[in-house]
Structure 1
Amino acid sequence: MTKAVVICPGRGTYNKAELGYLGRHFPDAALLDQFDRRRAERGEETLRDLDGAERFSMARHTRGDNASGLIYAASLGDYLSIDRDRIEIVAVTGNSMGWYSALALAGALSPQDGFELVNTMGAFMQEAMIGGQLVYPVTGTDWVPDAARREEVLALVAEIDGRAGHVLGISIDLGGMLVLAGDKAGLAAFEAEAAPLEGRYPMRLANHAGFHSALQEPVAARGRAALASEMFGQPELPMIDGRGAIWWPGACDRAALHGYTLGHQVTETYDFARAIKVAAREFAPDLFIVPGPGTTLGGAVAQSLIAAGWRGMASKEDFKTRQEAEPLLVSMGMETQRGLATGR
């Protein structure tokens, strides 16, 4: 039996190539009907209408109240499609919004309550739309950790954040990339002063608020008021959160899980690289499985494993050699890899 950790993707993963993903892959029509009835009750477009659109629209498909539901459903559907006769899932984690998906995959939330959490917080984020995000690499193209560059970037972020009328901080640590969150002035200052890299960085993320920063406290407070702790239960699988902390089955405090999910997880830095390091070292899986949609999280997983020195990997070439010899990472959004998880 192959042991696997499942890693749920976050915002920014449902794009043009993913249009129709639910129609192609979601395995439970009745469950999708339940999600769509809930969206219709809220006056929102159904996931089927969004996923089945004739063409992809950045303005329509990437806004928080639409993207969150699409991504959650795609991740859940892919998880339900994993061949459990061959693969034993030993833990789940996720990136950013992927934590909400991980809660449902692990059984701490029902699929319906997981959807309610995702859909509600996506709508609240979209309505408030406080701040923004950009991404900037702290390794070279070889994915070798560059401590000096990281320190330079962190110093610049701290200096800008200390200026009057500027807010800037680390939103997500992706291992080889840093996602920064800030207000208009903070983001603009970093874009003006950071060294341009690879012809595209610093890269502003469209339709993204300043997630995982103190800017989101009003959204977090609204979420805590709207979503009761009673919806949370004991997980069936260990869950690794955005601090690298493990929530164990049978040992979770419902109020603490609710408080973290709608508190720290919303307003503090999400350390995805640490979550992957903990997943690798504590559970020693044979395989890391990234459900869809999208394929972009695979690079962040690989970079985080390299940063952790997992199985002696120290560069992109090391990872590629290992991956080609015996796959360590499966991205279900890639048709060439999907069968490694589904057995079909």
Structure 2
Amino acid sequence: MSRGKLLKQGSLVMEDNKPWALISEVGGQGYIEEVTDIMKQHFQIICLKDFLQNPLLHGPKIQAMFVWNALPAPKPALLSSLPSLRVVANGGVGIDHLDVSYITSLGVKVTNTPGVVSDATADIAMGLLLASARNIVEGHQIAVNPNTTHKQCRMGVEVTGSTLGIIGMGHIGSKIAQRGKGFDMKILYHNRSRRTVEDEQAVGASYHDNMDDLLKASDFVMLAVDLTPETTGLISHRELSLMKPTATLVNISRGLVVDQDALVKALQSGTIRAAALDVTHPEPLPRDHPLLGLPNVLITPHVGTNTYTTTRRMVQRMVENAVAALKGQTIPNEVKPK
């Protein structure tokens, strides 16, 4: 047998020896085709629909689960069919859809991908802020409408020199502050703990221990917190009433951070000027939800990390975390139960 065939044969053996990983799907709500090659370098992958056709056959083989857009949902029924599972690798920072305590009680590691998503998420945050402030979507619709004969767009509000209040000054919040500084915005922030003086000086940010003070002073309130029991419903009737009537609420965290019924009333009554949301609850909203019919609301379908560059980085980090877990190495981004 030639050396080439031996190498080929060897590569096939290596392919057969790769650990199995369960993924949601390729295309649709799953992974774009361009990133599956990253997973296939280290794993034999199987899609959820194929797995469900014969879970008794495939279940014992699977050692890793890659969770993307909260799919496959690692519920107890699914986890019980994966006796060899050792790691659940989540794509993205938020892990509110994962029962970390339960999963880890099974001896399974949980990981996420902080850091690699921060720039893309901060970009969409500023994109939403700018688009809402300057009525960009409305302007586009007017410009392309065949019935348009003259400018009809509403006046916007100034971004440069305005006050940006960031609630949640983690890695993403800090990136948003950097971008706000580029627009000469005055940066206020509220966080569970104060950042270092060096961090504050880098973006010219002022700390507000009392969130109410930040709400009263901000022209734009940016939500960049994790979803936890403490942040669920963080912004409701009282908090919205503290904001300026000219202020805009921007949410790139999770839909449940905002009381949506309270937000609808605040937008309808003029309590606040506008809202720009990359997240809602549920996603997508029911087609008859009142938020969808308000002219002072801008909504995108949770696309904060949707760039080719960030998607590849996320999948690469998911794979690195999973490989480390299976090899018993230090996991770059392990999530511990609280």
TM-score by length of 1: 0.29
Higher relative contact order, chain-length normalized (CA < 8 Å, sep 6+): 1
TM-score by length of 2: 0.30
